[in-house]
Amino acid sequence: MPLRPLISAALAALALAFGPLAVAEDAAAQSRIKDIAEFEGIRDNLLVGYGLVVGLDGTGDDLGSAIFTRESLIGMLQRLGVNARDEDLDTDNVAAVMVTANLPPFSRQGSRIDINVSALGDADSLVGGTLLVTPLMGADGEVYAVAQGSLAVAGFKVQGNAATVSRGVATSARIAGGAIVEREIGFELNQLTRVNVTLRNPDLTTAKRIADGINDRLNVPVARLVDPGTVEIQVPANYPGDTVALLTEIEQIPVRVDQIARVVIDESSGVIVMGSQVRISEVAIAQGNLTIRITESEQVSQPGPFAEAGQTEVTQNTNIEIEDDADRRLAMLEAGVTLQELVDGLNALGVGPRDMITILQAIKAAGALQAEIEVM
């Protein structure tokens, strides 16, 4: 049998063996459009309100210093028919709080949303408190929800005469389903003739791939790239008045996400995060420090038991140690090394996170780091 057919058969067998694996790896590296972008109009709206929490066990605001709490309490009692203006209010079971919530898109009247409650005055804890009726307003000043309910506090604080024990934050709380939606935000998604897809991380290459993926799926050139963060979609003729169905199909399209070579450094905690596209040009690295440690100690010098002369004295003893990291070596990193090779090389030098930050900044200053450094 000729040799060429045997080679062709072997290559075909290898292609069959490794072909599915390559396809699986390529699919795993892709992300759905719904995971990397947002559609116009489908967004949360922020709500905020001011209210009172009652039922605290002596851990509320001091009405003498928290004037806003005192006035709010008097105003609430007056609305309920109780005249407390002339009375000497002295209670520490009430606290003024700020209530925040996110109004999900297309929330209907009567549905419930979660709320967060945070102390505004000098309250020590909100444990055991109940939030009274609190209107939640949007940026336009309109009331969109009303909150009320018992607080769920994860932290606590116990204080004695000589010690204090605390866990978490006792002045912040949460109420699951603590607000009822009273006003809907009018937005007819099905009436749109154009829809903008907004990337969470703007990138020209990724945006172009999204537009191409949409056009390939629909077999109609309806998507065009507007800028690195926006792809505009013209609703095709076969989706009249059914934009929701169109977006349902589009959001499942897989796209390979491109990213900028970036190194993010948090100097306060020593955390370093590097993207997979980070590359290093050929560079030599050496790391070492000179450490001088001086230790002082005292020793007692005294004559022998039967000595005729001499006296007891205290003498100083000084011990000096010098560490110059002589065992450290100069390491050479070849051009085009990957992120893993860079990390392995720095670890081989015994470099810790703090020194790694300095080395990366020095490599960038030398022009050998082909990435953007972002210091948090």
> Please, are residues 246 and 189 in contact by the beta-carbon 8 Å criterion?
no
Set out the domains of the chain in order of their start, with CATH numbers: 45-181 (no CATH), 188-256 (3.30.70), 262-289+327-375 (no CATH)
Burial tier of 117 (Cβ tally within 10 Å: 0-12, 13-18, 19+) = buried
**C-alpha distance from residue 107 to each of 47, 273, 281 (Å):** 13, 38, 53
CA angle 68–73–79, rounded 5-degree value: 125
Give CA torsion, residues 32, 33, 35, 37, to 10 deg: 170
> Please, are residues 126 and 95 in contact by the beta-carbon 8 Å criterion?
yes
CB atoms within 10 A of CB 37: 24
Write down the pTM of the prediction: 0.66
> Please, are residues 115 and 89 in contact by the beta-carbon 8 Å criterion?
no
Give CA torsion, residues 84, 88, 92, 93, to 10 deg: -30
Q: Which two tokens stand for residue 283?
A: 């560079």
Residues 6+ apart with CB under 8 A from 182: 109, 143, 144, 145, 146
pLDDT tens, per residue, the chain with 376 residues: 444 444 444 444 444 444 554 444 455 568 899 999 999 888 899 999 999 999 998 889 998 888 898 889 888 888 888 887 766 778 889 999 999 999 998 899 999 999 999 999 899 899 999 999 999 999 999 999 999 999 999 877 666 666 777 777 889 999 999 999 999 888 888 888 889 999 998 999 999 999 999 999 999 999 999 999 999 999 988 887 788 888 999 999 999 988 888 888 887 777 778 777 777 777 676 666 545 455 656 676 676 666 666 677 766 666 656 555 555 555 555 555 665 676 676 677 667 777 777 777 887 887 777 788 888 7
Tokens 């990213």 correspond to 259
